[in-house]
Amino acid sequence: MMINISEAKISATRIMSRCDELAKITCATSGITRVYLSKEHLIVNQLVGKWMKEAGMSVWQDAVGNICGRYDSNIIDTPAVILGSHLDTVKNAGRYDGILGVLSAIEIVYWMNKKHIVLKLAIEVIGFCDEEGTRFGITLLGSRGITGTWERKWLNYTDNNGITIHQAMINFGLHSNNIKNAARNIKDIVAYIELHIEQGPCLEKENLSLGVVNSINAASRFNCRFIGESGHAGTVPMSYRKDALTAFAEWIIFLEYTTVKQYPQLVATVGTVICKPGTTNVIPGTVDFSLDIRGPQDILIESLSSIVFEKAKQIAKCRNLFFEYKEFYKTSETICDINLQKVLCYAVKKVQGSNLLLSSGAGHDAVAISKCWPVGMLFIRNYRGISHHPKELVNINDIILALQAYSESVCKFIEIKTNNLM
Ligand code: GLV
Ligand code: MN
Ligand code: MN
C-alpha cells in the first residue's frame, strides 16, 4: 500500500494540527520544553496513546516511559517493524523535532487499519520518551530501554533540582526495578524506520522535500571545569587573579579556531556554561561547561578533543588554575542498514523523482536501536534547517510526500522481508 495523495493530505493536515496541540504541552511559560518523567511527559503519552488507539493499535506505556502501539498481523507472535521517533524536547524547542516522526508513523497505521490491510509482520509505533537528555544529561533513555542497555548508575543522576532518575520514575508511576521489562527480544523486532526533520540545510539547498540517511555522525560529550579562585572584584589586582572565566574565554576561541581551521568535518559546541559564584563583584572561581563534538569519524573527534584539552591544561597552567574534564557520552558513527537505504531510496525516487543520500549531523533514537536491529531513516526538509529553536518549520506539502514515501517503504520492506528476499 502507498497512501494516496488525497489520503496523505488528510493525514498531513491532521499531523500539523496535532503538532500544534502537543506544542501546548510544555512546562515553560513561553516556548516548548517537555522533559523526561515530567507531568508533561505523562500528558503527552496519554494523548498520543489515545491517537494510537484511534488509529487501530493496542497501546501500552513501557517500563521506562515510552508510549507504544502495536498493529498486529494475522500471524500470531510475528515480529514487528518499529516506526517512530521521540516526544521529548530540548529547552525552548521547535514543534517537529521527533514529534513529526511519531505522528507520521501513527498515520501509516491509521490508513492500514482503515483499509483493513493485513500484513505478514506487525507494525509497532513508539513515541520514545527521552532522546534529548534535557533533564538528566543522559540521552536516548527511551530507545536504550528497548535495547536493554540502561546502566544502573544512571539512576543516581540528578536533574537541576537534585531529583534522581530513580525518584523521578517513582513520581511518574514507574519503578527502576522494572526497567529491564522495557527491553525487547532480538527476534521480536526486524527493523526500525524513523522519519525525522533534517535539522540542516542540505535538502533545502537541493530543492528537495525528502532524502535518505546513510549514516549518523559520531559524537562525544564532556563535562569540563576550569578551577581558579574567587575573590574580591574591587581589591585583587589583575596580575594576582585566578579568574576561571577569562581562562575559559581564551580556550573557547582556540576551540572554535582549531575546529574550523584543522577539522572542517567536525562541529564543536559549548552549550552550557556555569560561572561560579556568579556575582557581579566576585572574580569567577570556577567555570563548568559542556563540550559536544560531532563528526563522521571517532578518530577525528578523539584527535580534536585531545588537542583542545591539552590547550586547556596549558592555559590553566599559565594562569595558575586547574583544568579537568570527563567524557559522559560517546557514540560511534551509525551506518544505516543498506537494504533499508535501498527501499527508502526507491520510495523517495518514486514520489519525488530523485533522491539525496545524506548523513545526519544530529543524533537520533536510531543510534541506540542500531545496536540491536537494522535501522533506516527518512529525512524531510525543514525551513532553513533551523531546529532546536522555536522557529523550526515544516511545509505541509513536504509532509504529504513524506507520508507517501514512508508508507511505500514500510510496505515494500515487509514484502521483501517476508518473501525472504533480504
Ligand atoms: C539530538 O537532537 C541531538 O543530536 O543532540
Ligand atoms: Mn533534537
Ligand atoms: Mn530529534
Measure 280 CA to ligand 3 centroid, in angstroms.
37
Closest ligand to Cα 294? 1
- What is the structure's pLDDT at 2? 81
CATH superfamily name and code, 5-216+333-420:
Zn peptidases (3.40.630.10)
Pocket flag, ligand 1, residue 293 (CB < 6 Å): no
Alpha-carbon distance 97 to 39, whole Å? Answer: 20
Which alpha helices (DSSP H) does 91-242 contain, by range?
A: 99-114, 141-146, 165-172, 202-205
Cα R_g (the chain), whole angstroms: 23
- What is the structure's pLDDT at 296? 95
DSSP state of 364: -
- What is the structure's pLDDT at 83? 98
Is-contact 414 229, C-beta < 8 A? Answer: no
- What is the structure's pLDDT at 29? 86
- What is the structure's pLDDT at 421? 59
* Torsion, CA 70, CA 73, CA 78, CA 82, rounded to 10: -40
- What is the structure's pLDDT at 229? 98
Q: 5 vs 10, 55, 208, 381, 407, CA distance in Å?
A: 9, 19, 18, 19, 12
Q: State pLDDT tens for residues 10-56.
A: 999 999 999 999 999 999 888 999 999 999 999 999 999 999 999 99
Q: State pLDDT tens for residues 278-297.
A: 999 999 999 999 999 999 99
Alpha-carbon distance 125 to 82, whole Å? Answer: 6
State which residues of the chain have pLDDT below 70.
1, 421-422
Alpha-carbon distance 199 to 196, whole Å? Answer: 8
Q: Which atom of ligand 1 is nearest to the CA of 98?
A: 2
Q: What φ, ψ does residue 196 adopt, rounded to 5°?
A: -155, 150
Q: Which atom of ligand 1 is nearest to the CA of 199?
A: 2
In a mutational test of the pocket of ligand 1, which residue from 128, 144, 197, 388 has the highest number of ligand atoms less than 8 Å from its CB? 388
Q: Which atom of ligand 1 is nearest to the CA of 292?
A: 5
- What is the structure's pLDDT at 409? 98
In a mutational test of the pocket of ligand 1, which residue from 88, 99, 132 has the highest number of ligand atoms less than 8 Å from its CB? 132
Residues 6+ apart with CB under 8 A from 4: 404
Pocket flag, ligand 1, residue 366 (CB < 6 Å): no
| Domain positions in the chain | 5-216+333-420, 218-331
Cell (9 digits) for 170 = 517513582
What does pLDDT average to over the chain?
97
CATH 3.30.70.360 fits 218-331, yes or no: yes
Q: How long, in residues, is the chain?
A: 422
- What is the structure's pLDDT at 422? 60
Binding-site entries for Zn(2+): 86, 97, 132, 196, 388
Longest alpha-carbon distance in the chain:
79
Binding-site entries for allantoate: 221, 281, 294
Pocket flag, ligand 1, residue 133 (CB < 6 Å): no
